[in-house]
């Protein structure tokens, strides 16, 4: 019997293939990079063929380590929201418009006015934001009508790889939730949203559940990748819900905190219950379940910016030593971490970063620690939104680059006020996709059972009571930053172009 499961992750920077066995042990992994294009301010695009080139090369590499005959299933994951337009022959019409592209703000405002803000986020589980897929498609109609006229199919990034593997046009409900066109509570396309945008239903792929077999590898896909013809491909999920599975977040009150380039607080929900003001994403998760997701657009990316611009020759170990030498609160210096705008709880593409409280006493060590603390406070904002929704974690998984820094990890633990722990793999999304593949072909009865075997707690980190008390006093000052600076951000935006 086949005994391995492959997860393919089509991220913004690379496409990865990961092989695991039935116990969740990683057998092989390979990643190949993509090029990213930013042709204008606020734009972010990629050529879909880059995804296929990188994904097929990664699959060929891992299949040198295991036999294709031993692969029971493939699960797919990847960057969410990316608008991928295909013509009637299945060829890309133009570069895909990605999740971090901000050009469609006016289209979001127009549809929100048309549908009504409260009604809209009750349907789609979130405010409609420029990162979502549907407003990008509306932008295309208004600004590139010749491209728009050629459209026959709309896909998301990982689903383009599914199409190249199998010829099938399909999307899972978890990733599909980010298009802005699903009725999330009903887990189906929303006729009302399609009508509001005036998009033809036939452009959009078949909806499947995350563990449902959606397609099988065809001869063309097999030639390109080395997979066996007929290998099942399950629905999979977008990168964040897949990472939720990879972190074992499949039961009530479980939470994960991913502090990578962006920051994501993720929680499981047994029922559809949107946040009243739309300040959290509330999307479909594994079969019969939903998820809450709060997103910071810049998290560890903020520390990378500080490093690259002010001390590029320093190692990250040196930055950690600087932060460790500074007391909590960074001598009264706060950092607003909104370097690329913000999503939750402040859906504002004009939000910007700021150091507040600078004096002659402050230098690079205080700035480093202040950035770490500002990012952690931004993640605390997400946790507070989850708590309002009835999610009450007693601990949380931590992953991403910040989890590798002892000083950053500890101050996050103190700011959250609950223990944090790591799990047995940092492969996140690809690992979750492979788990869904295992469930899809019956190796486990459901995702919860699979995670109980495959996802294991490794290290736990306890909050320091003194640190909790200090940061609890500082947190209200951080929460005041965005309201105080909001008008200033808007005034400064006119000088950015």
- In angstroms, the Cα distances linking 26 to 66, 158, 444 are 12, 21, 18
- Pairing type for strands 232-234 and 213-216 reads antiparallel
Q: Catalytic positions, please? A: 239
Query: Are the beta carbons of 92 and 47 closer than 8 angstroms?
Result: yes
Q: How many whole angstroms separate alpha carbon 160 and alpha carbon 462?
A: 43
- In angstroms, the Cα distances linking 278 to 7, 101, 124, 186, 233 are 31, 20, 9, 18, 33
Nearest in space to 128 (alpha carbons), one of 92, 163, 75, 81: 81
Q: How many whole angstroms separate alpha carbon 123 and alpha carbon 128?
A: 11
Query: How many Cα atoms are found within 13 Å in the side-chain-facing hemisphere of 280?
Result: 30
Query: Are the beta carbons of 257 and 97 closer than 8 angstroms?
Result: no
Show the 3-state SS of 274-339: CCCCCCCEEEECCCCCEEEEEEECCCHHHHHHHHHHHCCCCCHHHHHHHHHCCCCCCCCCEEEECE
- In angstroms, the Cα distances linking 167 to 170, 179, 228, 399 are 10, 21, 15, 35
- In angstroms, the Cα distances linking 450 to 72, 431, 437 are 15, 12, 10
């Amino acid at each position: 019997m086949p005994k391995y499961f492959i997860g393919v992750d089509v991220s913004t920077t690379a496409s990865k293939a990961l092989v695991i066995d039935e116990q969740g042990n990683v057998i092989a992994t390979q990643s190949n990079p993509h090029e990213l294009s930013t042709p204008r301010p606020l734009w972010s695009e990629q050529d879909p063929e880059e995804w296929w080139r990188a994904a097929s090369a990664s699959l060929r590499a891992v299949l040198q380590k295991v036999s294709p005959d031993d692969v029971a299933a493939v699960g797919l994951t990847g960057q969410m929201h990316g608008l991928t337009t295909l013509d009637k022959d299945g060829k890309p019409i133009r570069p895909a418009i990605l999740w971090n592209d901000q050009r469609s703000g006016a289209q979001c405002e127009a549809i929100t006015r048309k549908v009504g803000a409260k009604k809209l986020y009750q349907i789609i589980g979130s405010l409609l934001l420029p990162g979502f897929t549907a407003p990008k498609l509306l932008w295309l109609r208004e600004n590139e009508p010749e491209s728009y006229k050629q459209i026959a199919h709309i896909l998301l990034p990982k689903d383009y790889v599914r199409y190249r593997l199998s010829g099938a046009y399909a999307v899972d409900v978890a990733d599909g939730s980010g298009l802005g066109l699903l009725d999330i509570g009903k887990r189906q396309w929303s006729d009302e949203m399609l009508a509001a945008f005036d998009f033809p239903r036939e452009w959009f792929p078949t909806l499947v559940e995350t563990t449902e077999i959606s397609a099988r590898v065809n001869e063309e896909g097999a030639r390109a990748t080395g997979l066996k013809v007929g290998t099942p491909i399950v629905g999979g999920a977008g990168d964040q819900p897949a990472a939720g599975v990879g972190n074992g977040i499949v039961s009530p009150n479980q939470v994960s905190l991913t502090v990578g380039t962006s920051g994501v607080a993720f929680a499981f929900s047994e029922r559809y219950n949107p946040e009243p003001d739309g300040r959290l994403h509330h999307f479909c998760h594994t079969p019969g379940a939903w998820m809450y997701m709060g997103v910071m657009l810049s998290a560890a990316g903020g520390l990378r910016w500080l490093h690259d611009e002010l001390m590029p020759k320093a190692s990250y170990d040196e930055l950690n030593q600087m932060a460790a030498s500074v007391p909590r609160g960074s001598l009264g210096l706060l950092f607003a971490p909104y370097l690329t705008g913000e999503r939750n709880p402040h859906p504002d593409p004009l939000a910007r970063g700021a150091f507040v409280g600078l004096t002659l006493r402050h230098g690079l060590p205080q700035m480093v620690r202040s950035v770490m603390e500002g990012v952690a406070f931004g993640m605390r904002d997400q946790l507070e939104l989850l708590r309002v929704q009835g999610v009450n974690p007693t601990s949380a998984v931590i992953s991403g680059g910040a989890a590798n820094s002892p000083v950053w990890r500890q101050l996050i633990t103190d700011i959250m006020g609950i223990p944090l722990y790591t799990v047995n793999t940092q492969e996140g999304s690809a690992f979750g996709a492979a788990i869904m593949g295992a469930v899809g072909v019956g190796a486990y009865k459901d995702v919860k059972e699979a995670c109980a075997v495959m996802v294991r707690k490794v290290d736990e980190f306890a909050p320091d009571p003194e640190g909790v008390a200090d940061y609890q006093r500082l947190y209200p000052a951080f929460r005041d930053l965005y309201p105080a600076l909001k008008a200033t951000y808007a005034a400064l935006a006119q000088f950015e172009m």
